[in-house]
Amino acid sequence: MKDRIIPFLNYRYYAYALSSGLFVIFLTSAFVFKGGLRLGVDFVGGQKIIAKFEKGVDEARIRQALRAYNPLVQQVGEPGMNEYIISTKLSEESPAFLRDKLVERLQREYPGIEFLSEEAIIVSSRGGVDEANLRDRLAAMDAVFQRLGSPQKSEYIIYPRESSEKKKLAYDSGRIENMLRADFRNIDVLHGMAIVALFDKLADESKIKEIAKESGVSVTRSEYAAKRAYLFNKIMTDESEQIRSDLARSFKKVEMLSVENVGPAVGDYLRKLALKLIAVSIILMTLYLAYRFEFRYSVGAMVAVLHDVILSVAFCGVADIEINIPVVAALLTIFGYSVNDTIVIFDRIRENTQIETRSSLMEIVNKSITLTMSRTILTSFLTLLTVFALFLLGGEGITDFALVLLFGMIIGIYSTVYIASPVVLAWEKLVKKVRA
């Protein structure tokens, strides 16, 4: 070996100590002192509002106007359009949160309980309503209505009619709301939580009412004949309307372009899906590397990937970065970047192993890393410059994504040299010891 070879692996134990220290510091800070990771709207539920403002409005002014909701504000489209996405987390006072909490409680108490998938509607009338006409109009849409509370009250709940047929009902809450607004001007659609639960015939009604009371909702026995169904409901304030009011007070012209709600159940599904996605990616990449190279290289690469991803997630906790879909995308990008960088070195190691049969594996690894270092420095430097530009100029919506990517790529460069390669060496020694 005529070229100067840098003995990288001689310092691997210092690297182990550094990585261990980072793990202890980051994980302790994130989960002990800061109480865990801060999950975003995508994973805990909430709402995303796209609004258009007058000229001169910026993200800071919108955040200040909605400071009570701790929103994430991001400009979208061309700067002259003045359109912003406002994301707020689901509060415990929201209908979706209350619904999921109640459903979870009822499923725990009554394992065989069923819930109608169709959404029930709560309405109120001003000055009375022609109930016969309303009943006929709803019947044509496979819906029925029932008065809530005493006869003096003017509040009703609308839900699907009882059916023993297998064919799908024509019930559609959106169509019904549009019909009510168009043809019944004295009926208002109220915001709130309303679900229809189907119980076993032996269910204790007093216990059902007790659960409803503890959950802070009202419950009424439905008029179904063959099924024992109860209507759980609560009229609540629409948070999006509160946000609309706050924006209207703070700005001269605000146009709400769209409002999207993510319930806690959907958030939980997305959270589990993201974890599965990362796990499946790691497993598939492990199998590919074992097939493409050798199993020892696969082990080294995956240990380095896990090292990078776990440290990057812990970094999110330390830096108080919200875990959302863009951050998950950054973690998967780190995963791919780390594996790509590692494969370049492993390919050179495999090539040199076939050429230099008299050299030890440690010498071959050190030489391979040295020979690929110029490529690593050039490509990594240019990539980091691009990501750094994103961090500086990308705006609030992309800052967290870029910061996680920046940290992950730096850690990925380090782990390729001081985690992946030493693991290959350690695995080789372990295999020889086992065979001996």
Residue-wise DSSP of 242-307: HHHHHHHHH-S-EEEEEEEEE-HHHHHHHHHHHHHHHHHHHHHHHHHHHHHS-HHHHHHHHHHHHH
Helices 396-415, 361-393: inter-axial angle, 10-degree rounding: 170
Residue type, 48: K
* Token couple for 43: 């994973």
Which regions of the chain carry the CATH code 3.30.2130? 95-236
pLDDT value, residue 1: 42
Which stretches within 356-418 are classed as H helix? 361-393, 396-415
CATH topology of domain 8-39+264-435: Multidrug efflux transporter AcrB transmembrane fold (1.20.1640)
- DSSP-derived letter for residue 346 is H
Which regions of the chain carry the CATH code 1.20.1640.10? 8-39+264-435
pLDDT, tens only, 129-183: 788 898 999 999 999 998 887 666 688 899 998 876 667 788 888 899 889 888 8
Cα 103 off chain centre by? 21
Half-sphere exposure of 157 (CA within 13 A, CB side): 25
Nearest Cα neighbor of 158 from 204, 122, 201 is 122
Q: Tokens 């001169």, residue?
A: 56
Residue type, 269: Y
Nearest Cα neighbor of 237 from 71, 93, 86 is 93
Q: Give the CA-trace dihedral at 413, 415, 416, 419, to 10 degrees.
A: 160
Domain spanning 46-89+240-261, CATH class: alpha beta
The H or E element spanning position 146 is strand 143-147
The H or E element spanning position 348 is helix 325-355
Nearest Cα neighbor of 95 from 52, 61, 47 is 47
pLDDT value, residue 265: 66
Length of the chain in terms of residues written: 436
Residue type, 213: K
> What is the C-alpha separation between 44 and 274, in angstroms, rounded?
13
Of the candidate CATH numbers 3.30.2130, 1.10.3680, 1.10.10, 3.90.1200, the domain formed by 95-236 belongs to 3.30.2130
Taking the alpha carbons at both ends of the chain, their separation in whole angstroms is: 30
* Token couple for 70: 């701790």
Sequence-distant contacts of 167-170: CB under 8 A, at least 24 apart: 169/118, 169/142, 170/140, 170/141, 170/142
- Residuewise pLDDT in 10s, the chain (436 residues): 446 888 888 999 999 999 999 999 999 998 888 878 888 877 777 788 888 888 888 888 888 888 888 887 877 777 778 888 888 877 767 777 788 888 889 998 888 888 887 788 888 887 777 888 989 999 999 999 988 876 666 888 999 988 766 677 888 888 998 898 888 888 888 888 888 999 877 788 899 999 999 988 989 888 887 788 899 998 887 677 788 888 888 888 888 888 777 766 677 777 888 888 888 888 888 888 888 778 888 888 889 988 998 999 999 989 888 888 888 889 888 888 888 888 888 888 888 888 887 888 889 889 999 988 888 888 888 989 999 998 888 776 688 899 999 999 999 999 989 999 999 888 888 888 888 6
Residue type, 410: I
- Count other C-beta atoms under 10 Å from residue 14's C-beta: 10
Instruction: Measure the CA angle with vertex 247, ends 242 and 250; round to 5°.
Output: 130
Residue 88, classed as helix, strand or coil, is strand
Beta bridge partners of 190: 122
3-state helix, strand, coil in the chain (%, to 5): 60, 15, 25
